[in-house]
Amino acid sequence: MRQKWLYTRWFALIVGLVLGAVVGLAVYGGSRLTGASLYALCGTVAGGVAAVVFYGYSRTIRLTELTVSIPQLTDLTFAVTPGNERVAWRLFVESVTRASIQPVDEGTGILREALDSLYGLFTSVRAILVETAPTRRPTSTQTVEHLAIAMLNLQLRPFLSTWHARLTAWEKEHPDSPESAWPDNAACRAALEQMRLGLVRYVRGLGQLAGAAEIDSLMSSTRSSGMPDVPPVAADGGVQSP
């Protein structure tokens, strides 16, 4: 193993010396050029640099298209760039690690915790969108922002505006009563489950836009482990304080 490492090191050293000599000769030869030859050399170098820059830029703005099926909007085609993928991944992680996407069976769980989790998800997703630059490349297809905003306005907001307000009002009027005594308990649970099923499809769509592998496996592992809510995901991959 050590002998192989030595051979590899000497080979790299020799290649480096040869390349260095070639570059040195090229620089020396270029410095002696004049007239049309000098302009041709400068143009060649400039063209090569421009090609490298253009290639790098085109990679950062390249678009791929994905078709995602989501509630109320059927099938939509989404344009995805590398930047969009990172945003979609943040939104997916923020959503999939929430207790709010897990089912609350009849007679189990606490509605207040579920509604607070949904409200926290709404706030976190909106915060991520506010701090994220919008997709600027012109395109006739949807982007990750469209999916996230649709999830907020079409799925989360209607449910929260109705049931969060009702439960809060009842809790203020009956501070010492158990949640099970709330007359709308069963109706809220039924509405919560219907909303959750649609929310899961949005979350799965975010995972698709992020390019995540084994999305259903990730979501089922979160469900089976009973993971609690976690703080919002920061831009650098860390977590933000609640």
Q: Residue ranges of the domains in the chain? A: 2-61, 64-225
Tally of residues, the chain: 242
The whole-model pTM stands at 0.64
Q: Render pLDDT for 205-216 as a digit per residue (tens, 0 to 9).
A: 899 888 888 887
79: confidence class by pLDDT, cuts 50, 70, 90: confident
Higher local confidence (pLDDT), 111 or 228: 111
The pLDDT tens digits of the residues spanning 106-147 come to: 655 688 988 999 999 999 999 999 988 777 765 557 788 888
DSSP code of 161?
I
pLDDT score, position 218:
76
- The tally of CA atoms less than 13 A away on the side-chain side of residue 23 is 6
- The residue written with tokens 């390349």 in the block is 19
Q: What is the pLDDT of residues 26-52, one digit of tens each?
A: 666 666 666 666 555 555 655 655 444
Residue with the bigger pLDDT between 239 and 31: it is 31
- Is 188 within 8 Å of 118 (Cβ atoms)? no
Closest CA to 125 of 103, 144, 99, 104: 144
Give the confidence band of 230 by pLDDT, cuts at 50, 70, 90: very low
pLDDT of res. 97: 84
Mean of all residue pLDDT scores within the chain = 74
Indicate the helix (H) or strand (E) that contains 216.
helix 215-225
Higher pLDDT, 199 or 8: 199
